Amino acid sequence: MKITEVRVKLVRNKDDRLKAFCSMTFDNEFVVRDIKVIEGVRGCFVAMPSRKMSDHCESCGNKNHVRAKFCNHCGQALPQNRVKKDPKGRMKLHADIAHPINTRCRQTIQRTVIAAFKEEVKKSRQPDYKPVQMDEPDDDICDLVG
C-alpha cells in the first residue's frame, strides 16, 4: 500500500499541544481521517484516530464515558473501578479506530504526516495562504449509494 495523499488542517490555538488534523489516502482508494499531529516533549508525533471508551449504566443501560462518575441519563452513581488497564497498567480511556500493526508502517505514516505538516506550516506563512478544507465531499460516495 502506498500513501497517495495527506491533507493537513492546521489548528491555530498556540497554547494547545494539538497542532493539526490530517486525512491520509492509501492507493487513491482508502481514506483515514482524524489523524492528529501533537506536539510532545521530543517534538511532534502522530496520533491515530480513536474514540473514548464507554460502558453502560447498570441501572438504566445508558452509555457513559468510563471516567463519568454519574450516569448521563438517570443520574445513578457509577462504579469507579470499571476502567480497564492496558498491559503497562495505565487506564485505557481511548480505543484506536485505525492504526498500523507494525513498526515499519507506523514509521512510514509518522514520517509522511510530519513532512506534510511541516510543508503546510511553511505554506501557512505565505500571504495568499488558504487553509485546506477537510469537510468538503471530495469523493464520489453519492455515486456508490444511489
**13 and 29 inside one domain:** yes
**83 and 104 inside one domain:** no
Q: Which residues of the chain have pLDDT under 50?
A: 138-146
**116 and 86 inside one domain:** no
Under DSSP, the state recorded for 79 is: P
**44 and 57 inside one domain:** no
Write the pLDDT tens digit of every residue in 16-36.
999 999 999 999 999 999 999
What was the pLDDT predicted at 81? 78
CATH number at 102 reads: 3.30.1120.40
Give the torsion through C-alpha atoms of 9, 14, 17, 22, to 10 deg: 0
**1 and 44 inside one domain:** yes
**89 and 101 inside one domain:** no
Q: How far apart are CA 22 and CA 32, in angstroms?
A: 9
Q: How far apart are CA 95 and CA 93, in angstroms?
A: 7
**44 and 56 inside one domain:** no
**73 and 10 inside one domain:** no
Domain count within the chain: 2
What was the pLDDT predicted at 96? 86
Under DSSP, the state recorded for 133 is: -
Domain that holds residue 45: 1-49+97-138
**6 and 41 inside one domain:** yes
Write the pLDDT tens digit of every residue in 79-94.
887 777 778 888 788 8
Asked, for residue 145, whether it belongs to a domain, the answer is no
Vertex 29, ends 26 and 32: CA angle to 5°? 55
Asked, for residue 144, whether it belongs to a domain, the answer is no
What was the pLDDT predicted at 136? 53
Q: Letter for the amino acid at 48?
A: M
